[in-house]
Structure 1
Amino acid sequence: MSDRLDDLERRIDELRAGVRKAMRARDSGTARILRAELRTAERAWDALVSHDGAAPEQDGPAGRGTGSDGPARQGDGAGRRGGGDGRGDGRGDGLRLVTVREQVHQALTLLDAPAQARLIVAVSQAFFSGTIRSPQLTSLRRDEERSFKSSPYARPYYLCAALTDRLSPARGLLAVSTWPAERRLVGPLSPRVDFLTCAVQVARHVGDMARPLPDADRLLARMARNIPGAGDDVFGPPDPGRVIEAARRELRVHAGRDTQDRAELAKRATSQLGAVAGLFGAATLSTVADRRSTGRRGGR
């Protein structure tokens, strides 16, 4: 019991600090998510204490395993598993804090730009003690698209695809449905602009930390190596302020043209795409051919 209480108490302290930082940054979305996690962690702590050291037993469907709809756990090193889109109903083990889907949303909210699975996982682990792994994100977008088609706008947000200049889904890039269309579309300069935007966000959060976290420092160092003047000649963790300054300096070179390109793409997307394609992309000719081929094979 003592070890589990200690883990929960550390997690509660981290979540409280995270809420304060989010409020100082006026990031209401992240603050709302962290407050929900904090309430769950506090309930789990109360449950452990009130049961004289025995955590409540899992029962019913929500307490079985971690399949495609199962929860991901944080704070429990033995149970760091989840799958599919990580949807869950919030019941089960007292140490279950957030689902895979929610962890991805946390990371994307922090980054404030479309991102690849590897970066999403790194941010989740560095700043939120995340437990997700890249393979779990493989089918996430498809699960979100199916959910949207079956019940449009039933959820506060969807994890959707970033769209290319062909208005098709960008390979491996995830975005959040509540972002403006311009932020979810990517033009020729967008990959670099988004990387610099993510670097600024990561550096800001590292700079706001009361005490440095090794994973966060390592992530910032990797990003800084790809930004001229951000700390390539510095031994040890890079200075967050220097990273922000260097990233913004380069952003001033690219941002104007990228903003223009994205605005033009957003106009096209608004006029040509319906609700589903506007979030998850229009089918390309190769996609249609693949579907037809699959249908013919299935009909034999």
Structure 2
Amino acid sequence: MFRSPGVPTPDELEARITELRAAVRRAMAAGDRDEARGLRAALRDAERAWDDAVLGDAPATAPAPAPALATAPAAASRNEDRRGLQPVREQVHQALTLLGAPAAPKLIGTVYAAFFPGEIPGHRLASLRRDEERSFRTAPYARPYYLCAALTADMLAPARGLLTVSTWPLERRIVGPLSPRADFLTSAIRLAEHAERGTPSPDARRLLWRFASTIPGAATGTVGTVDPAALAAAARAELDVHRDRDLRRRESAARRARDRLDDAERLFGSRLRAVRESGRPAARNAAPDTAHDRETDG
């Protein structure tokens, strides 16, 4: 594959990632959290570069085609042959990368089946996040990415039923009161833009219709048909209403997470000591501070 001079190869990036992981561990062992944060930022950059190099998205490489849309009956007939050839965690990573926001396993499976060849076995998703957490705690940063939990903005605890990618910015992996709608709109935009680059399969068209039917102004044609450009435009218009307030809440929670959680907790959430926005540890089974939510978001 063509590669511009000076652009690291995947092997070189993997070596760099290994060096940075070791440096992070040394900094943490020495108690130098500032140095560790800087190294973690460099590590995330290297991991993203590795993703780009391997997935073919890096601008410095020869242009790669967009992920193939599952089109026509011929693609459907190949699903059985191709199902299971790719590890489930990579299938989930592809679907989440396309969505660009925290998502529930059911949506992840639906998106993969609609836009990629094959499908994700539903029973394999049930224990995936626990397996990822176990792997991280056993050998931190041994993988280029981890599939981890979204964190609640109020308590920095794992958000039930939502998966994210460890290489995403922490703010994107946190969910507040407005985040479900903002993330829904973000995903609608990304799916619509992806659909515009090819001929969507029937499954993809049905999925786009499900998004469009709940966004004002997105369903402009007959029932069951969607113009991807109209869907993206309508989703952007509504997202503009929510984005700033949602981002402020996420950024505030991300600052607390960086200050108070260790690396594993920032990926998988704090189960034993949920951290409220006031800074006081909350009771393990305490409910979110909804009164505070209304005050700060009102």
Shorter-chain TM-score range: 0.5 to 0.7
Question: Which amino acid is 1:77 matched to?
Answer: E
Alignment of 1:201 with 2:190, yes or no, is: yes
Residue 75 of structure 1, CA deviation: 4.2
Work out the CA distance in 2 between the residues paired with 1:148 and 1:34. 26
| Superposed displacement of residue 118, structure 1 | 1.0
Is the CA contact 1:168–1:284 (under 8 Å) kept in the aligned structure 2?
no
3-state SS of paired residue (1:283): coil
- Aligned counterpart for 2:107 among listed residues 99, 119, 124: 119
Q: Which residue of 2 aligns with 1:272?
A: 260
- Per-residue CA distance 1:22-67 (angstroms, 9 max, x = gap): xxxxx994783379xx9xxxxxxxxxxxxxxxxxxxxxxxxxxxxx
Of residues 166, 188, 203, the one that matches 1:215 is 203
Instruction: Give the direction of change, closer, same or farther, for the CA distance of 1:285–1:272 in structure 2 (3 Å limit).
Output: closer
Looking at structure 1, the residues matched to 82 and 230 of structure 2 have their Cα atoms a distance apart, in angstroms, of 38
1:190 counterpart residue number: 179
Q: Which amino acid aligns with 1:110?
A: L
Query: How far apart are the structure 1 equivalents of 2:157 and 2:249?
Result: 16
Aligned length in residues: 210
In structure 1, C-alpha distance between the alignment counterparts of 2:188 and 2:160, rounded to whole Å: 21
Alignment of 1:45-84 (within 5 A): 75=78, 77=80, 80=83
Give unmatched runs, 5+ long, in structure 2: 1-48, 58-63, 65-76, 275-282, 286-298
1:142-181 map, 5 Å? 142-165=130-153, 166-181=155-170
Larger RCO, structures 1/2 (Cα 8 Å, 6+ apart): 2
TM-superposed deviation, 1:248: 0.4
Measured at CA, do residues 252 and 242 of structure 1 come closer, stay the same or move farther in structure 2, by a change above 3 Å?
same
Return the letter of the residue paired with 2:259: S
CA RMSD of aligned residues (A): 2.7
Separation in structure 2 between the aligned mates of residue 190 and residue 113 of structure 1, nearest angstrom: 9
8 A contact 1:107–1:123 mirrored in 2: yes
Q: Deviations over 1:175-201 (max 9, x none)?
A: 000000000000110000000000001
Cα displacement (A) at 1:217: 0.7
CA distance in structure 1 between the partners assigned to 2:105 and 2:263 by the alignment: 24
What's the TM-score, normalizing by structure 1?
0.65
Distance in structure 2 (CA, Å) of the matches to 1:289 and 1:262 = 22
Aligned to 2:54: 32
Q: What is the distance in 2 between the residues matched to 1:220 and 1:76?
A: 21
Q: Quick one: distance in 2 between partners of 1:167 and 1:179?
A: 16
Contact 1:228 1:246 in 2 (8 A): yes
Give % identity: 53
Instruction: Please state how far the C-alpha of 1:236 moved relative to its aligned partner.
Output: 4.0
1-structure distance, mates of 2:163, 2:232: 23
Contact 1:116 1:172 in 2 (8 A): yes
SS at match of 1:226: coil
Structure 1: unaligned runs, 5 residues or longer: 1-26, 39-73, 82-95, 291-300
Q: 1:243 to 1:31 in 2, by over 3 A?
A: farther
